[in-house]
Structure 1
Amino acid sequence: MGDLVLLSEAQMRRIEPYFPLSHGIPRVDDRRIVSGIIFVIRNGLRWCDAPASYGPHKTIYNRFIRWSRLGVFNRIFEALAAKGGRSDQLMIDATHLKAHRTAASLFKKGMFPRRIGRTKGGLNSKLHAVCDDRGRPRVMLLSEGQMSDYKGAALILPVLPKTKVLLGDKGYDADWLRQALAKRRIATCIPSKANRKVQIPHDAALYRRRHKIEIMFGRLKDWRRIHTSYDRCAHTFMSAICINVS
Structure 2
Amino acid sequence: MSDLFWLSDHQFARMRPYFPLAHGAPRVDDRRVISGIIFVIKNGLRWRDAPAEYGPHKTLYNRFVRWSRLGVFDRIFSALSAEDGEPETLMIDATHLKAHRTACGLLKKGMLPRHIGRTKGGLNSKLHAVVNGEGKPIIMALTAGQVSDHIGAKIIYPELPDAKVMIADKGYDSDEYRAALKAKGISSCIPPRKGRNNPATFCKRQYKQRHKVENMFGRLKDWRRIATRYDRGADIFMAAITIAAIVIWWI
Moved over 4 A (4+): 107-110
Inter-partner Cα distance in structure 2 for 1:109 and 1:140: 26
1:123 aligned onto 2:136: no
1:90 aligned onto 2:90: yes
Matches within 5 A, 1:10-159: 10-106=10-106, 109-159=109-159
Inter-partner Cα distance in structure 2 for 1:109 and 1:227: 27
**Which residue of the partner structure matches residue 241 of structure 1?**
241
1:213 aligned onto 2:213: yes
Matches within 5 A, 1:152-167: 152-167=152-167
1:10 to 1:206, Cα distance in 2 relative to 1, 3 A: same
Q: Work out the number of aligned pairs and report it.
A: 246
Inter-partner Cα distance in structure 2 for 1:244 and 1:24: 30
| SS of equivalent residue, structure 2 residue 69 | helix
1:109 Cα deviation from its structure 2 partner: 4.2
Give per-residue Cα distances to partners, 1:78-136, cap 9 Å, x unaligned.
11111121211100000000100010121584511101111111111100000001011
Letter in 1 for 2:84: G
| SS of equivalent residue, structure 1 residue 242 | helix
Give per-residue Cα distances to partners, 1:12-48, cap 9 Å, x unaligned.
1111111111111111100000000000000000001
| Contact map agreement 2:167 2:210 (CA 8 A) in 1 | yes
Inter-partner Cα distance in structure 2 for 1:215 and 1:35: 25
Inter-partner Cα distance in structure 1 for 2:84 and 2:227: 26
| SS of equivalent residue, structure 2 residue 143 | strand
TM-score when scaled to structure 1? 0.97
| SS of equivalent residue, structure 1 residue 130 | strand
Inter-partner Cα distance in structure 2 for 1:16 and 1:98: 32
**Which residue of the partner structure matches residue 175 of structure 1?**
175
1:2 Cα deviation from its structure 2 partner: 2.2
Letter in 1 for 2:239: S
| Contact map agreement 1:18 1:72 (CA 8 A) in 2 | yes
Inter-partner Cα distance in structure 2 for 1:109 and 1:241: 25
Give per-residue Cα distances to partners, 1:47-98, cap 9 Å, x unaligned.
0110011111111111101111111111111111111212111000000001
| Contact map agreement 2:162 2:185 (CA 8 A) in 1 | no
Letter in 1 for 2:85: G
Give per-residue Cα distances to partners, 1:184-211, cap 9 Å, x unaligned.
2211000000021122111111101010
Unaligned runs of 5+ in 2: 247-251
Inter-partner Cα distance in structure 1 for 2:152 and 2:219: 22
| SS of equivalent residue, structure 2 residue 146 | coil
| Contact map agreement 1:99 1:116 (CA 8 A) in 2 | yes
| Contact map agreement 1:36 1:60 (CA 8 A) in 2 | yes
| Contact map agreement 1:42 1:223 (CA 8 A) in 2 | yes
Inter-partner Cα distance in structure 2 for 1:153 and 1:80: 23
1:155 Cα deviation from its structure 2 partner: 1.2
Inter-partner Cα distance in structure 1 for 2:102 and 2:84: 37
TM-score when scaled to structure 2? 0.95
> Identity, % of aligned pairs?
63
| SS of equivalent residue, structure 2 residue 194 | coil
